[in-house]
Amino acid sequence: MEVSELDKYGICDGISEIILTSGMKNPNAAPIGLIRKDNRVFIRLYRGSTTYENVKQDEVFAANVTCDPLLFIKSTFSNLEDEDFKYHPLNSKSIPLLKNSATSVIFICDEIKHTKQAMTAEIIPMGAVANDYLPRAINRGLTAVIEAAVHATRYKLTGNNEFLDLIDRCLETTYKCGGQREKDAAEILLNEIDEIKKHVDGGKDTE
């Protein structure tokens, strides 16, 4: 499969926010930014995550393209249910995909490099599955709640209250522009932030 074919599956130049599924026996899902540049594709995964351990071991995963905000938020802060996954065969292996993704592209890792903090790899597309080619207009509520989730993970890592202010601004846009699923995702995110605050010194209310 050529890198140029990724356009058909929603992975274009720049950084595409996808949900990475990995783990042959115990599937795991987590949002990451997949980097496509100069007809090459890369990932960077940080140590300490299940995704890192799975990809390090198997050197294969699926990039799932979806506009479902609930899948992004749930996979950021918790494990999805077994029924959220399906499996696709590749070279005698079974790769977990998200059942409800619009498309899924299976990648294998090449030129893997490890540092103390992370691993980086050029990734090669091996196959793809398309479940839904229906177009969807950009919704600012969706992009804002995903951005808020990114800020929430940074707040969890650093305890820096500036991220709480950024989250507030993002969710203002979500509640103004989003549909019901975007708003439901925002509520789940706020509940997760309340839990994070219990473990972060100096946290403040987001209300």
Q: Please tell me whether residues 125 and 154 are part of one structural domain.
A: no
Q: How confident is the model at residue 204 (pLDDT cuts 50, 70, 90)?
A: very low
If asked whether residues 48 and 113 sit together in one domain, one would say yes
Check residue 31 and give its pLDDT. Answer: 95
pLDDT of residue 192: 93
User: What pLDDT digit, counting tens, does each position of 53-88 carry?
Assistant: 999 999 999 999 999 999 999 999 988 999 999 999
Does 202 reside within a domain? no
Q: Given this model, what pLDDT does residue 141 score?
A: 95
Q: What's residue 137's pLDDT? A: 86
Using a pLDDT cut of 70, give the percent of the chain over it.
97
Judge if 41 and 92 occupy the same domain. yes
The band of 206, judged by pLDDT with boundaries at 50, 70 and 90, is: very low
Residue 205 has pLDDT above 80, yes or no: no
* Displacement of CA 134 from its chain's centroid (Å): 21
Domain that holds residue 103: 3-130
Residue 113 lies inside a defined structural domain of this protein: yes
Q: Which residue has the tokens 């305890």?
A: 159
Supply the mean pLDDT for the chain: 91
pTM as predicted: 0.87
The pLDDT of residue 93 is: 84
Per-residue model confidence as pLDDT tens digits over 6-38: 999 999 999 999 999 999 888 999 999 999 999
Residues 129-152 have pLDDT tens digits of 998 777 788 899 999 999 999 999
- The reply to whether 96 and 191 lie within a common domain is no
- Of the candidates 10, 36, 5, which has an alpha carbon nearest to the alpha carbon of residue 131? 10
Residues 166/53, Cβ–Cβ less than 8 Å: no
pLDDT at position 116:
87
**By the 8 A CB rule, do 73 and 189 touch?**
yes
Task: Assess whether 117 and 153 both reside in one domain.
Answer: no
Q: What is the pLDDT of residues 89-103, one digit of tens each?
A: 888 889 999 999 999
Non-local CB neighbours of 180 within 8 Å, separated by 6+ positions: none
Residue 115 within any structural domain of the chain = yes
Please report whether residue 71 resides in a domain.
yes
pLDDT, one tens digit per residue, over 180-193 is: 999 999 999 999 99
Residues 162 and 80 in one domain: no
In the prediction, which pLDDT does 201 show? 60
The amino acid present at 118, given as its one-letter code, is A
Q: Is residue 206 part of a domain?
A: no
Count of domains forming the chain: 2
CATH assignment at residue 171: 1.20.58.290
